[in-house]
Structure 1
Amino acid sequence: MLFEWLSPPKKSDRRQYAFHGVCFFENAREHMEDDNFPDIPIGTIGGIEGWELSFDNTFFNRFEEEWLDEENGYLTNGGVLIEYGIQVEGIQSPEGVWTFNFHDRVFDCQEKWNMITFHKKKMACFHSHKQLLTFHSTYFDSDSNENQMIELTDEDPIEFENFLQVSHGVRKNYETLTLTLEYAQKYKMLNVIQLLDHAWKQMDWPISAAIYYKMNHCLAELLGKIESLEEMVEELKKVNLEKISGEAMKKCVKRFLEL
């Protein structure tokens, strides 16, 4: 988070930050003497409402003489003009888990072109660093020299944010993230598929689903529970054998020969 104190001649870089603006505190001298600077609402940041900008008088006491001398340029008509920039990178949940902030723009994205925005009906929903998503998936254009826009279709906003969190390495209760697997399949996030494959090994899945989502660890566990050739044949009837991966085919053949 940045609060930058600038004299008029100094150039501000506040626009690098996702949330930036200007606040004017009138009657600064009186507020400093009474230690009662007002709280100025500045909106929603990081998906959290109710942010306010104010000051602790102990800060002003350090620079009182300099600030109150109008020749130094800090006072304008008896008030103080504050330029601010705020960048919230992460948010800690009540359970103590740190999560990424996908609600605000990536820092300095207008200069570095390092952002992917997921939007719905032209309204931005989530912003993510481009580098991580392009590293794990060929779905996104790694050669693009501009910020990318990806349109969401029927994705559930809450579940899609869970998908982004898991994609960035945040630990969650994986057993509840069935839609995360669907989104990982759609956006070719193989790291997420592999993570859920390990986490869900003990879950009772249809074999056809394990094959479709390329959940090879889950598939091995499920095949081990099959007790007869008849049961094996019935399960494979639910699968498009022409599209089955080589790894899944090997596991199925191995189990078939064991029965």
Structure 2
Amino acid sequence: MTRTYPERFSEYYWRIIQNILQIAHRGINNHNIERLHLKIAKELKFQNFIRLYECRLTLKNSFCQKNPINGICRFENFLERNRGNNFQKVPIGRICDFDRWYVTLRQKVHGGNIFIFPYLYCRPVPKHKQLAGRWYISCLNRNPLKDYQKISCGRFDKSRVPLGNGIKLDKLLDENSGWLNDGKLCIEYGFCVESMEGLDGIWKFNFHDKLFDFDQKPNMITFENHCPDKSKVISLHIHKQLLEFHSPSFKDVPCTIFNLWVGTNTEEFVEFLQMSHGVRIEGKQ
């Protein structure tokens, strides 16, 4: 028995069918899958296509959550702020134990077109030349499958910032494009600073931020200094496997928080951790 659908009489339906067949037979690798693709694939019971669609959504969500600093920024009144190139700066908390980090937008003209780029503002970090890490920045569309994401890694400082993909201003302002939601442009982000280069040229580990998969795996031990003022508590997050390598005392210790002894010099303790992880600090043994 042959099933018929009203959409099958439309040219668009047949074009979608061709795309589904190409994707299912691996003829197209980087196709922008839309929800109508999934609807038709379910009608035809194309299980491989359905699994691919669901896998892409799972991967998209995991990229952001794998970074300890993550969230969604909402840029209100995008049209008005764009006219004055005066985009708001959205604070995202502390990174490397320093404040005043934020996500914002910038305009850039290329080939006669104006593009809007989301980026992380990297404030000057005292006693450090540059940082190294990875980041995820995605412009969110009302259709999640059209989200424009960028996953990258590298070194950055005040002059070289973690940058997302640029979108043409004309497309952003098109009401049918799905980029603006009630006048808001939404940006999803995830950042992880792994190491820092000091003024002496020595690279050191970043112990101030949690590991990227800290909430899924028991692979981290946290040390905290003893301080009555909770706002002045310093947390140091160390990979459990590295601690086990240096001391058998941590082998059977669950993922937990250790309080440093009263009177412990935090700076000297951090230097001790750096050296025990293989960092060579001049003048130290």
Question: What is the TM-score with the length of structure 1 in the denominator?
Answer: 0.56
Partner residue in 2 for 1:163: 272
In the aligned structure 2, how far is the partner of 1:137 from the partner of 1:26?
51
Q: Report the aligned-residue RMSD.
A: 2.8
The structure with more radius of gyration: 1
In the aligned structure 2, how far is the partner of 1:70 from the partner of 1:90?
42
In the aligned structure 2, how far is the partner of 1:101 from the partner of 1:159?
15
Cα distance change, pair 168–46 in 1 and its aligned pair in 2 (3 A): same
In the aligned structure 1, how far is the partner of 2:279 from the partner of 2:175?
50
> Which amino acid is 1:84 matched to?
Y
Partner residue in 1 for 2:116: 60
Partner residue in 1 for 2:191: 86
> Which amino acid is 1:29 matched to?
L
Higher relative contact order (CA 8 A, sep 6+): 2
Match of 2:61 among 8, 12, 21: 12
1:208-247 alignment to 2 at 5 Å?
Answer: none
Cα distance change, pair 44–173 in 1 and its aligned pair in 2 (3 A): same
Partner residue in 2 for 1:41: 91
Matched, 1:129 2:239: yes
Q: Which runs of 5+ in 2 are unaligned?
A: 1-55, 109-114, 118-165
Partner residue in 2 for 1:108: 213
Aligned-pair distance for 1:68?
2.8
Partner residue in 2 for 1:147: 255
Match of 1:22 among 51, 69, 72: 72
In the aligned structure 1, how far is the partner of 2:212 from the partner of 2:175?
34
Cα pair 2:67 2:192 within 8 Å, conserved: yes
User: Structure 1, residues 77-109: CA drift from partner, whole Å, max 9, x if none?
Assistant: 101122211111111212222111111111111
- Match of 1:82, SS state, is strand
Partner residue in 2 for 1:248: none
Cα distance change, pair 70–128 in 1 and its aligned pair in 2 (3 A): farther
Deviating more after overlay: 27-36 vs 91-100: 27-36
Cα distance change, pair 153–23 in 1 and its aligned pair in 2 (3 A): same
> Which amino acid is 2:223 matched to?
F
- Match of 1:73, SS state, is coil
Cα pair 2:204 2:279 within 8 Å, conserved: yes
Match of 2:82 among 25, 32, 56: 32
In the aligned structure 1, how far is the partner of 2:246 from the partner of 2:208?
21
| Structure holding more strand per residue | 2
Cα distance change, pair 111–72 in 1 and its aligned pair in 2 (3 A): farther
Cα distance change, pair 108–124 in 1 and its aligned pair in 2 (3 A): farther
In the aligned structure 1, how far is the partner of 2:177 from the partner of 2:223?
45
| Structure holding more helix per residue | 1
Determine what percentage of the aligned residue pairs are the same residue. Answer: 39
Cα pair 1:109 1:147 within 8 Å, conserved: no
Cα pair 2:225 2:266 within 8 Å, conserved: no
Cα distance change, pair 107–96 in 1 and its aligned pair in 2 (3 A): same
Cα pair 2:70 2:188 within 8 Å, conserved: yes
